[in-house]
Amino acid sequence: MRLIFTADDFGLHASVNEAVEQAHTQGVLTAASLMVGAPGMAQAVAIARANPTLAVGLHVVLTDGVPVLPAARIPSLTQKNGRFRDDMASLGLLLALSREARAEMLAEIRAQLALFVETGLVADHVNAHKHYHLHPLIGAALIQVAAGAGIKAWRLPAEAGGSRIQNKWCDVMRRRGAPWGLAAPDRIAGLRWSGAFTAERLLEALPRTPPGVTEFYFHPATRNDVPGGAQGYRYTEELAALIDPRVIEAVAGIPRGGYADMLGRHDRIAVART
pLDDT 10s digits, 14-51 = 999 999 999 999 999 999 999 999 999 999 999 999 99
Q: What is the CA radius of gyration of the chain?
A: 17
Looking at domain 2-262, its CATH architecture is Alpha-Beta Barrel (3.20)
Amino acid, res. 174:
R
Q: Across-strand partners of 189?
A: 216
pLDDT at 266: 52
Domain boundaries of the chain, sorted by first residue: 2-262
Handedness of CA 174, 186, 160, 124 (dihedral sign): negative
The H helix count followed by the E strand count for the chain is 10, 6
pLDDT at 268: 39
* pTM recorded for the entire structure: 0.94
**3-state secondary structure (DSSP) of residue 189:** strand
Helix or strand run (H / E) with residue 8: strand 2-10
Neighbours of 8 (CB within 10 A): 25
Contact, 45 vs 265, CB < 8 A? Answer: no
Give the separation between CA 232 and CA 197, rounded to whole angstroms: 13
pLDDT in tens, 201-230: 999 999 999 999 999 999 999 999 999 999
Q: Please list, in sequence order, all residues whose beta carbon lies within 8 angstroms of the beta carbon of residue 192, skipping any fewer than 6 positions away.
A: 159, 161, 162
Q: Please list, in sequence order, all residues whose beta carbon lies within 8 angstroms of the beta carbon of residue 17, skipping any fewer than 6 positions away.
A: 10, 11, 40, 43, 44, 47
Residues of the chain with pLDDT under 70: 265-274
pLDDT at 54: 98
pLDDT at 271: 35
Give the separation between CA 97 and CA 117, rounded to whole angstroms: 31
